[in-house]
Structure 1
Amino acid sequence: MKHKTILLTSIILATVLLPAVAGDGVFSGMVRDYATFRFSQSDMPVHEITADLRYDYYGDLGKFTLHPVAYSYPNEGVELDIQEAYFDFYLQDADIRVGKQKVIWGEAEGAFITDLVSPRNMRSFILADFTEIRKAVPAIKVDYYAGDYTLQGIWVTHFIPSTLPSQDSMWAQTPSMPFPPTISATINVPTMPDASLENSEAFLSLGRFGNAISWKVNGGYVFTDEPLVTGVTAPDSTSREISQGYERYGFVGGSFNTTLGSMILRGDVALALEKPMNSVNTTSNPPISIEYHNQVQTLVGLDWNMLGAQWSTQYLLTYTHDHDDSLVSQMKPIKEFAHTLTFRVQNTFLDERLTAKLFTYMELEPANALIRPSLSYNFGDGVLLEGGVDLFVGDEEGTFGVYQDNSMAWAALRWYF
């Protein structure tokens, strides 16, 4: 609570101090009407109106940013969220940002390797805009500049987890429990760590921006963004209660990008040290426990221009050390080696008013994919009409194939101002 008070006080001081100095405010935003049509059910499971607003006030002391977002759904109330609210101090050799903020690390597109500062909003799986998937965290971020080098330190004052789909969501998955059919299982709401100094998160990175190659090395001490099963109790012989919580681990990693002729080569790597994972063993009591394993995630990406279009591909490998078949994540099996590919091609037509894009995730074992072709047309004056298809195909045991019944078409009308 103390750290929340510090951040709230900082925001209030910023709103009081900035108007007191010479400066200008800039108001911008986007209004979007988004709807989907699901093929398997012939229904419209999502109709969402979004007002995404942003106010930046520039003064002699720095800049204040307020980023509220409102969501409206048919027959439901309006949901308001302050996505970001922070103050930037600009010093001679350093920048300081205080408040609720999103932090982007790494070189991956549509994947999270070293990008572990901001948790994710997974309420609609991974279909939201990449900029909207990240959640803001209450933090103090300091960037210190020395020539081509940047040293960045981040203190997240209290833990914010990723947001998972609600139980009645079309994206919710019913986990398979290691109990006989006669046993009913109740999954309790995850227990949040207390907002205290010892439960805060810390990150550090050192990077260099160069003409030939740019790189960063980084690390942090964090909580798992998704909950783990922390205990199983038996109130009686026919029921079980499952407790959930969040566990800590450290990680080190890095990222780079460089040019290879006319192409851009980029990469990410992260080593999770003693990362907590659930283990399911029906012969044990309790049947669900926590084990600690080192895990490596690596990504290599290549971007290039060809035939007037922009092309990109990525290969992601996840390796879990000392693997055994009992390991699960959200009660789904963890593979010793997991391979994922992404592919993107994008081109513009009609004086760059029409944009055609294809983005695809492909998981190799088991073979399954998410295929996302889309078109958008810019009418000018900030008005953009877009539409596309989200196709889930392949093995139903896969990350994407499990959502085969959620393949759908979508359309959106945006107005930027």
Structure 2
Amino acid sequence: MKRQSFAFMVMTLMSQALWAVDVGLSGISRWNSGYEINTGEWQTNQLAIKPEIMARFDGGTKVTAKLLARWDLEDKLEPGRPAQPFRSGINRRIFPDNHTDLELRELFVDDYLGDTFVRIGKQQIVWGQADGLRVLDVINPLNHREFILPEMEDRRIPLWSAQVEMPMDSWSLQLVWVPDSTVTESPEPGAAYALLDDPFDGAGKLTVDRPKAFSESDYGARLGRYWNGWDLTFNYLYHTIDDPIITVDPAVRAIRASYNRSHLFGVTAANAFGDYTFRLEAGYESERQYASSAHGLQSTDELSYVLGLDYSGFTDTLVSGQFFQSIRDKGLDVPHTEENATLLLRRDFMNQVVQLESLLIYSFDNRDALWQVNVDYQVATNVILNTGANFFSGDREGQLGRFQDRSRLNLGIELGF
């Protein structure tokens, strides 16, 4: 009944678009080529078309649809037609052939009930102050098709969900409900950025025990306010942790991905002091499980935080640094702490016609790193040429160093319409 009621509510709101008085179409098409330095082969040659349709009508309601059509000539990022075991039935993509995938990225309705803002449909819900390193931005799972190389907006998997935002004196309250059971999507073994190993040389069977839709929904609340120059939020989320717990059963050649649920309590704070901006994001998970070959599943609570400092005192330049740490119980078969740092340099040239960006991500635990360099040249209002590189380095046992053979040079063009 809950499933049918939710679907009926969404379809009823979507049907209002038929009476729209203003319909607009925009979007981008992007060609990107990636050439692997070590192998001397093309990793990807892909065209992505992302149309966005927006319909407004007299009552103030707005309907937004975002689509994605993508063709990849190389078929190395997601070989063949993936089975999509990490996605719920209502959130799956279409693979007409080995080189093409089609997706309804987002489809949501916006409206106001008095001073209360309501958004219902397939969407991204973003929490937190950190860039790239997730502490509170965990409502939407991620697609690791190209690992962590794309922008976060392109990596998040939009979910069928609802959010409500309402003013409360000097505070604002956001409530979220996510019945969609999709979890973080890892490419299957054999893909360029496969995160799951198959110890059975292709003969293993992967089982993904996703949470149950509706009965194991995620839900939460965020309180926010501006106080004495500080932008503050206080967050709570009861959710499924989207990163899989991987166990292997050699007897039946089974690889199992399971998940645990947890209470997440968090806080963010940001303030500007002249040319400096300080950012803090912290989150406490009540339970996080890890798989151990010697001890089975191990549970721990976990505290994670990000400290960020941005400097904009140089002309047309931003310098941003972040430090990330996670702290777990001692005595586990995983490290007691985990530390990462990022350094971002961004500079505009020629009155913002050219933008140079350099991002370094470094893991102190495995001493591995990812360095991304990108240059955008805006040829015209709706035409951007792009070139850059992604360099992986360090210990092959690390999450970044394991892909050092995947370092690549990039070349692309983006057209707006």
Q: Which moved more, 1:204-213 or 1:11-20?
A: 11-20
- 1:221 lines up with 2:238 in the alignment: yes
Q: Distance in 2 between matches of 1:77 and 1:393?
A: 29
AA aligned to 1:82 is: L
Q: CA deviation at 1:44?
A: 0.4
Find the counterpart in structure 1 of residue 318 from structure 2: 310
Match of 1:103 among 125, 146, 149: 125
SS at match of 2:204: strand
SS state at 1:45 partner: strand
Query: Which residue is equivalent to 1:200?
Result: 217
Distance 2:100 2:249 in 1: 37
Residues 368-389 of structure 1, C-alpha deviation per residue, up to 9 Å, x if partnerless?
A: 2101111110011300000101
User: Paired residue for 1:168?
Assistant: 190
The alpha-carbon distance between structure 1 residues 176 and 364, as it changes in their structure 2 partners (threshold 3 A), is: farther
- AA of the residue aligned to 1:151: L
CA distance in 2, matches of 1:127, 1:348: 21
> Can you list the C-alpha shifts for 1:278-322, whole angstroms capped at 9, x where unaligned?
1220xx6xxxx2221011110010111133111111000111123
User: Which residue in 2 is equivalent to 1:402?
Assistant: 402
Deviates more, 1:219-228 or 1:168-177: 168-177
Determine the C-alpha separation between the residues in 2 that align with 1:225 and 1:6: 26
Retained in 2: the 8 A contact 1:248–1:276? no
Residue of structure 1 equivalent to 2:24: 26
In the alignment, the residues of structure 2 paired with residue 195 and residue 244 of structure 1 have an alpha-carbon distance, to the nearest angstrom, of 17
Structure 1 residue 16: Cα displacement: 2.4
Alignment-derived partner of residue 320 in structure 1? 328
Give, in angstroms, the shift of residue 61 of structure 1.
4.0
Q: Output the CA distance in 2 between the equivalents of 1:231 and 1:359.
A: 36
Single out whichever of 222-231 and 27-36 deviates more from structure 2. 222-231
SS of residue matched to 1:300: strand
Offset of 1:174 from its aligned partner?
A: 5.6
Does the alignment pair 1:353 with 2:353?
yes
Match of 2:300 among 293, 297, 300: 293
Q: Which residue does the alignment assign to 2:172? A: 150
1:255 maps to 268
* AA in 2 matched with 1:389: A
Match of 1:14 in 2: 13
Moved more, 205-214 or 106-115: 205-214
Alpha-carbon distance between aligned partners in 2 of 1:407 and 1:316, rounded to the nearest angstrom? 24
**Does 2:364 correspond to 1:364?**
yes
Render the CA deviation track for 1:215-259: whole Å, top value 9, x for unaligned: 111111111212224674735xxxx43433222111111111111
Q: Helix, strand or coil for the counterpart of 1:16? A: helix
Q: Distance in 1 between matches of 2:170 and 2:314?
A: 35
Match of 1:277 in 2: 290
Question: 313-322 vs 72-81, which deviates more?
Answer: 72-81
Report the residue type matching 1:218 in the other structure. N
SS at match of 2:43: coil
Q: Distance in 2 between matches of 1:229 and 1:362?
A: 25
Measure the CA separation in 1 of the matches of 2:244 and 2:366.
Answer: 25
> Which shows bigger deviation, 383-392 or 209-218?
209-218
Tell which deviates more after alignment, 226-235 or 152-161.
226-235
Aligned counterpart, 2:78: none
TM-score by length of 1: 0.88
Residue 110 of structure 1, CA deviation: 0.8
Q: 1:173 to 1:275 in 2, by over 3 A?
A: closer
Q: Deviations over 1:5-64 (max 9, x none)?
A: 44443343233223426x322211000001100011100011111011111112214211
Instruction: Tell me the distance in 2 between the aligned counterparts of 1:82 and 1:323.
Output: 44
CA RMSD, aligned part only? 2.2
Q: Percent identity?
A: 21
SS in 1 for 2:300: strand
Do the aligned partners of residues 374 and 217 (structure 1) sit closer, same or farther apart at CA in structure 2, a change above 3 Å counting? same
1:92 matched to which residue of 2? Answer: 114
User: How many residues are treated as equivalent by the alignment?
Assistant: 392
Q: What residue is the counterpart of 1:329 in the other structure? A: none
- Indicate the residue corresponding to 2:92 in structure 1: none
User: Contact (CA 8 Å) 1:32, 1:51: kept in 2 or not?
Assistant: yes
Q: Which residue number in structure 2 is paired with residue 389 of structure 1?
A: 389
* Alpha carbons of structure 1 residues 4 and 86: separation in structure 2 relative to 1, 3 Å: farther
Contiguous gaps of at least 5 residues in structure 1: 327-333
- CA distance in 1 between counterparts of 2:363 and 2:248 reads 32
In the alignment, which residue of structure 2 is the partner of 1:331?
none
Structure 2: unaligned runs, 5 residues or longer:
75-97
Name the aligned partner's letter for residue 384 of structure 2: L
